[in-house]
Every structure is written in structure tokens, then in C-alpha cells.
């Protein structure tokens, strides 16, 4: 077969010199390198106690936002579920009753809102699709668990904590 | 032989046995820490403060593991192997002088179990026996990898024992005695043998690395070629014994190197310290110095392990037979000529 390129590098294999055959200079060099690392600062972060800072555009666990009055912003339009490439989001819409005005911002709200964290690929398309600025992927890493059913996060885990009463 | 002598020796044996087990135990911890620090990591730090309970946790783990004996193994030899490895590793400590004679309440107690006049030969014998644990274990496993490993271990130990013995002969020319006690006493203050026998020390040290099956000569247990080597089929505390024996071996060879070449319990300014501390505490201080030397050697063992890649098998044999043995013989001849020259003039 003729060569595909004109580039050619001939590998030279010279016989080892005496110093190389003695191994000792190379060993001393290697040992000095490793001992210099002995005194260097370690790169390890003690994870559960210390957490590495996320970058500003990190996408973690979802949270359903509340507005300035503490009402849930989500209106169960379903755009997030539609945009989701992994089909991780399901929701059931319900109509707001008059006495629930303080709880939900719009007349329609999500009575059930579930994200399957095993399906979610954290692409952030739901965040982009949302017309109400109700969902953001601004949380931490989704924690590990034992059962598949425990990875389906409902509103209890997703909705932001209610505002502090002033 | 009175009863107090027996009790004294018994206590000494118990202390030395306990200390060697403790040091072997914490060598496993130190190995992991040193490896971690050399690689910019932290190492085990979960069990207790700085992870100092890690060896205990490892021990519990070893005991709790299921014990598997391969169906077609020779059951009896399979059990003997780890025990023998452990036994031969431990008995080497008997002739090492841990300190000069200590005086407690007018009674002189030598800090050495027994001062036999062929101490070095005894050490050699014990170290050579050490390979039997590996060989028997590898053979009894009925596993081709274990067997290959056992063959490697045997040929490696035999090859390097020759160079080791030859390097010791040059040392014997200088000291004129085989008793470890006398060799240590001769190195009073800073007259350490390494100053008279630097080449001999280098050969001896390289051979010790090979004898203890430590990197860069850990061919009997190279994972990439032989899975786990001679302990592939071992599990539970039998495996623990093999791993433990390796660390005791390391401790013993460090002690032997410190005794033969680095003055044992001698240190510069020891006469001044002897006057300062008195006959009870000065020997103990000497023992502490001795242990500091041993720890330095153990650290060196680890440092080398985490720096130098493993030798290929033909390189190992080449180094042993064609480099170290001629070097050791040349060392004997040069030492002999120098000694004869000094005696003449």
C-alpha cells in the first residue's frame, strides 16, 4: 500500500547509553518528581462536607417558582412537557377555586406535576419553553436513591418553599 | 537458666511481636496515604480522625469476608501457605538488636531476643524460607496464574539472594563478625557501614526490594499479567495474611538494612545523650532512633513503589544475574584489596 500522506517519521531506536542502562539517574529523577508532589496541595475536595462551586450556567434539579406574592407561577400549559426531548414531565391541570387565589397565580394550575429524574437529561428546554418563568433548573445535583419510583419527583419536592410572611 | 530470664525474654518477644504487627498494620495505612500524597490526593480519611482507624476497618472487612477454598486445590497446603508466609515474616525479628542493653533497677536487660553468632546467616535463612509461603500458596491454588506467579517468585528470590549474599560478604570483610549485635556496636556514633560500603548497600537494598516482592520487582503479583498473582484464589483472612506478611517483610528488611548499614541504634552524639539520660532512658532513645531509621526505610520502600514502573521479567533476570552479581563480586575484590592494603601499611 502506498503511503496516504507525504509525512514520514522514522523512529530511531538507539542502543541505551551507559547512564541509561544504569537506571539510577532516571530513577533519581523520577523520585525527585514524585517527592515534589508529596508537598503539593491535593486536588481532592472532601465532597459531602465541602462542595465544589457550580458554574453559573450549571443545570441541576428543577424548581417550580413562585411569584412575588408567593403564588405558584405554573399554569399547566404543558409546553415544558411538549418540549421535553426525554418525555420526563407529566402534569394534570386543574381549575383554581376562588378561595385559592392566594395559592396560584393563574386561573389554571397544575394539581399534579411530576418529573422523572431518571429520564430527564437536564437539557434545559423546559426552562426555555416556559412562558411563565415557572420552571428553572437551578438546584443541586439530584441525589441518589434506591427505588425507581423515588426518582419521580412530585410537587412536594419541586415547588419552591413558600415565601416568609412579613 | 532461671525463671526471670524466661519471663524477661517472653515479655521481649511479646513486645516485638506486637510492635511488628502494629507497624505492619499501620504500614498498610501509610502506604495508602503516601500513595495519595505522591499523587496529589488525600487518601483514606473517613474512619476516625485522618482515617487512622482504617487498618481496623480493613481488618474487620477481611475477617467478615466469605472464605472460598477452590474445589480442586490441595486443602491442607492451601491453608499452610498463608500461615507459613506470616510465620517466616515474623521470626526474622528475633536476632535484630533493637537497642543497647538497658539497666532497670540494677538489672541489665539486652534489647535483643537472642544474639546468635551467625545472626546474618539466620536472617538469610528466614528470608529464603519466606518464598515457601508464596510457592506453596501458588501451587496449592490449582490455578495457572498462581502457579506462574509462584514460579516467578521462586526464581526471582533465588536470583537475588545470590547478589544479596555476595554484598553481605563484602560487609563481613569490613566488620569481621556475623553477629548483628557486634556489627551494630562497631558502628558506634557515626561510623556507619554505609560510609565504608556504599556500593554494597546499594546492591543489598535493590535485592531487598526483590526479596520482599515490592515494586519495581513485584512480578509475582503483577495484576496486568497474573490477575492477583499467587493470592488470586485466596479470600478472607488468608488473603489478609499474605498482604500482612508482605508488610512485615518490609519492616524486617528495613530493620536489617538499618542494622547492617545505617548503624542500628547508634547516632551521632550518643555518648553525650547516654550521660544526659542515664542507663535506663538512653537505650530507649537509641531504640527510638532505630525505629526512626526503620520508618525512613519503609517510607523509601513506598516512595519507590509509587514512582518506578515494574520491570519486565527478562530485565529483572538481566539485572540480577548480569549486573548485580558481577558488581557484588567486584565489590568484594575491591574491599579485600583495600583491607589488605590497610593492614600492610
Listed in order, strand segments (DSSP E) in chain A are 63-64, 89-95, 108-116, 135-136, 152-153
Report the chain A residue with the minimal C-alpha distance to residue B33. Answer: A38
Residues of B in contact with A40 (CB under 8 A): 40
pTM value? 0.80
B271, with CB counted inside 10 A (0-12, 13-18, 19+), is exposed
Q: What would the grid cell of residue B276 be?
A: 544526659
pLDDT at position B62 = 87
CA gap B270, B259 in Å, rounded = 16
Q: Which three cell numbers stand for residue A147?
A: 427505588
For residue A90, is pLDDT > 90?
Answer: yes
Q: Rounded to an integer, what distance in angstroms lies between the CA atom of residue A146 and that of residue A40? A: 38
* pLDDT on residue A67: 86
In degrees, to the nearest 5, what angle opens at C-alpha B332 toward C-alphas B328 and B333?
120
pLDDT given at position A165? 60
CA distance A141 to A53: 12
Each residue's pLDDT tens digit, A58-82: 898 999 998 888 888 889 898 999 9
**Record: contact A27-B303, CB cut-off 8 A:** no
pLDDT of A166 above 60: no
State yes or no: A74 annotated in a binding site: yes
| Residue ranges covered by each domain of chain A | 63-158
pLDDT at A146 over 90: yes
pLDDT tens per residue, range B157-185? 888 888 888 888 888 888 888 888 888 88
Q: Give the residue ranges of chain B where pLDDT is below 50.
A: none
Is A27's CB within 8 Å of B42's CB?
Answer: no
Q: What ipTM describes this predicted complex?
A: 0.72
Q: Mark yes or no for CB contact A44/B303 under 8 Å.
A: no
Residue A55 pLDDT > 70: yes
Q: Which of B40, B44, B205, B306 is the best mutation test for A, with the most CBs of A within 10 A?
A: B40
A-chain residues near B34 (CB < 8 A):
38
Q: Out of A27, A31, A42, name the one closest to residue B40 (CB).
A: A42
| pLDDT at residue B8, as a whole number | 81
* pLDDT of the residue at B1: 62
Distances (CA, A) of A29 to A32, A34, A35, B127: 5, 9, 10, 31
pLDDT averaged over chain A? 87
- Whether A38 sits inside 8 A of B42 (CB atoms) is no
Chains A and B form CB pairs within 8 A to the count of 36
**CA dist., res. B303 & res. B297, Å (int):** 10
pLDDT at A139 over 70: yes
Residues of A in contact with B40 (CB under 8 A): 37, 40-44
The angle formed by the CA atoms of residues B50, B52 and B53, to the nearest 5 degrees, is: 125
pLDDT of residue A51 exceeding 90: no
Per the CB < 8 Å rule, is A31 touching B39? no
CA distance A11 to chain B (A): 22
Q: Are B40 and A37 a contacting pair at CB < 8 A? A: yes
**Residue A152's pLDDT band (boundaries 50, 70, 90)?**
very high
The CATH architecture to which A63-158 belongs is 2-Layer Sandwich (3.30)
Residues 34-53 of B with CB under 8 A from A: 34, 36-42, 45
B contacts of A41 (beta carbons < 8 Å): 40
Question: B307 vs A41: CB contact, 8 Å cut-off?
Answer: no
pLDDT(A89) > 70:
yes
Amino acid at each position: 500500500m502506498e503511503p496516504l500522506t507525504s509525512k514520514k517519521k522514522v523512529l530511531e531506536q538507539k542502543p541505551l547509553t551507559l547512564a541509561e542502562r544504569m537506571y539510577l539517574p532516571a530513577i533519581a529523577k523520577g523520585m525527585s518528581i514524585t517527592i515534589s508532589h508529596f508537598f503539593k496541595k491535593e486536588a481532592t475536595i472532601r465532597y459531602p462536607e465541602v462542595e465544589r462551586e457550580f458554574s453559573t450556567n450549571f443545570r441541576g434539579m428543577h424548581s417550580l417558582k413562585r411569584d412575588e406574592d408567593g403564588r405558584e407561577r405554573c399554569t399547566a400549559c404543558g409546553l415544558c412537557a411538549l418540549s421535553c426531548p426525554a418525555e420526563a414531565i407529566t402534569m394534570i391541570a386543574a381549575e383554581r377555586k376562588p378561595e385559592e387565589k392566594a395559592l396560584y397565580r393563574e386561573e389554571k394550575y397544575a394539581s399534579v406535576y411530576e418529573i422523572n429524574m431518571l429520564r430527564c437529561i437536564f437539557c434545559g428546554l423546559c426552562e426555555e419553553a416556559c412562558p411563565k418563568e415557572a420552571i428553572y433548573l437551578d438546584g443541586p445535583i439530584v441525589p441518589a436513591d434506591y427505588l425507581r419510583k423515588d426518582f419521580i419527583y412530585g410537587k412536594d419536592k419541586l415547588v419552591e418553599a413558600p415565601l416568609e410572611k412579613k | 537458666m532461671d525463671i526471670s530470664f524466661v519471663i524477661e525474654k517472653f515479655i521481649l518477644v511479646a513486645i516485638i511481636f506486637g510492635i511488628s504487627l502494629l507497624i505492619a498494620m499501620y504500614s498498610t495505612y501509610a502506604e495508602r496515604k503516601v500513595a495519595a500524597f505522591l499523587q496529589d490526593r488525600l487518601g483514606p480519611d473517613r474512619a476516625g480522625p485522618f482515617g487512622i482507624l482504617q487498618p481496623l476497618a480493613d481488618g474487620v472487612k477481611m475477617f467478615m469476608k466469605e472464605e472460598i477454598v477452590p474445589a480442586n486445590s490441595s486443602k491442607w497446603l492451601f491453608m499452610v501457605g498463608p500461615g507459613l508466609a506470616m510465620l517466616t515474616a515474623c521470626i526474622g525479628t528475633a536476632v535484630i538488636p533493637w537497642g543497647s542493653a538497658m539497666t532497670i533497677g540494677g538489672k541489665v536487660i539486652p534489647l535483643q531476643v537472642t544474639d546468635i553468632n551467625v545472626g546474618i546467616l539466620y536472617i538469610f535463612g528466614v528470608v529464603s524460607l519466606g518464598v515457601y509461603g508464596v510457592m506453596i500458596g501458588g501451587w496449592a491454588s490449582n490455578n495457572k496464574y498462581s502457579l506462574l506467579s509462584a514460579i516467578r517468585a521462586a526464581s526471582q528470590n533465588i536470583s537475588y539472594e545470590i547478589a544479596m549474599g555476595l554484598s553481605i560478604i563484602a560487609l563481613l570483610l569490613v566488620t569481621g563478625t556475623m553477629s548483628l549485635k557486634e556489627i551494630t556496636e562497631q558502628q558506634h556514633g557515626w561510623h556507619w557501614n554505609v560510609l565504608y560500603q556504599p556500593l554494597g548497600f546499594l546492591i543489598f537494598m535493590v535485592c531487598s526490594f526483590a526479596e520482599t516482592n515490592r515494586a519495581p520487582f513485584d512480578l509475582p503479583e503483577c495484576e496486568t499479567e497474573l490477575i492477583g498473582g499467587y493470592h488470586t484464589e485466596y479470600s478472607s483472612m488468608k488473603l489478609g495474611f499474605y498482604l500482612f506478611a508482605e508488610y512485615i517483610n518490609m519492616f524486617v528488611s528495613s530493620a536489617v538494612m538499618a542494622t547492617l548499614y545505617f548503624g542500628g541504634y547508634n547516632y551521632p552524639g550518643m555518648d553525650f545523650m547516654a550521660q544526659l539520660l542515664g542507663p535506663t532512658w538512653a537505650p530507649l532513645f537509641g531504640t527510638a532512633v532505630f525505629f526512626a531509621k526503620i520508618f525512613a526505610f519503609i517510607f523509601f520502600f513506598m516512595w519507590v513503589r509509587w514512582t518506578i514502573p515494574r520491570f519486565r521479567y527478562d530485565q529483572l533476570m538481566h539485572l540480577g544475574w548480569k549486573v548485580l552479581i558481577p558488581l557484588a563480586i567486584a565489590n568484594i575484590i575491591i574491599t579485600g584489596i583495600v583491607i589488605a592494603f590497610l593492614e600492610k601499611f
